[in-house]
């Protein structure tokens, strides 16, 4: 599934919620259901520090796509991390670099990507794109 298709799927999922509480309950569920990252990645090396919540992110190249794994100490942050992983993981570096993440706005969670929240999500997206750039460069160098 392409990034756009994944994003649309999430928008459709959220469309059924009539009030914020249902939406957040769903987000909390997703936060809880995100596979917990391997403990070996929960180190400072993989830490993306927000001032409010922490995010750990790892990335691996497998058969031309990047597989992201992530975790957070706050469950709502983790729910949004889950959304970002669903959309951007298992995608080609070029597609990740060219992606826009408007779906977060469309499902009404834009406030969590505001820099004043400092929950680690903005830095996480930057870091995901940075990984994509690094893997893309590596692929080009190695031909």
Positions touching another protein (CB under 8 A) are 20-21, 24-25, 28, 51-54, 73-77, 112, 118-119
Is 51 one of the catalytic residues? yes
Q: How far is the CB of 110 from another protein (least distance, A)?
A: 13
Q: How far is the CB of 123 from another protein (least distance, A)?
A: 15
Specify the residue, 66 or 107, whose C-beta has the smaller distance to another protein: 107
> How far is Cα 33 from Cα 75, in angstroms, rounded to an integer?
10
Name the active-site residue from 1, 15, 36, 51: 51
Specify the residue, 88 or 121, whose C-beta has the smaller distance to another protein: 121
């Amino acid at each position: 599934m392409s990034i756009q298709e994944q994003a649309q799927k999430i928008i459709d999922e959220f469309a059924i919620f009539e009030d914020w509480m249902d939406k957040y309950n769903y987000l909390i569920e997703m936060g809880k259901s995100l596979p917990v990252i391997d403990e070996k990645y929960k180190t400072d090396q993989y830490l993306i520090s927000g001032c409010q919540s922490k995010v750990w992110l790892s990335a691996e190249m497998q058969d031309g796509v990047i597989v992201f794994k992530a975790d957070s100490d706050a469950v709502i942050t983790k729910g949004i991390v889950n959304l970002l992983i669903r959309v951007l993981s298992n995608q080609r570096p070029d597609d990740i670099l060219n992606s826009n993440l408007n779906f977060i706005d469309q499902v009404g969670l834009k406030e969590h990507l505001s820099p004043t929240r400092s929950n680690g999500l903005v830095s996480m997206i930057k870091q995901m794109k940075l990984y994509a750039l690094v893997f893309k460069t590596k692929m080009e160098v190695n031909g």
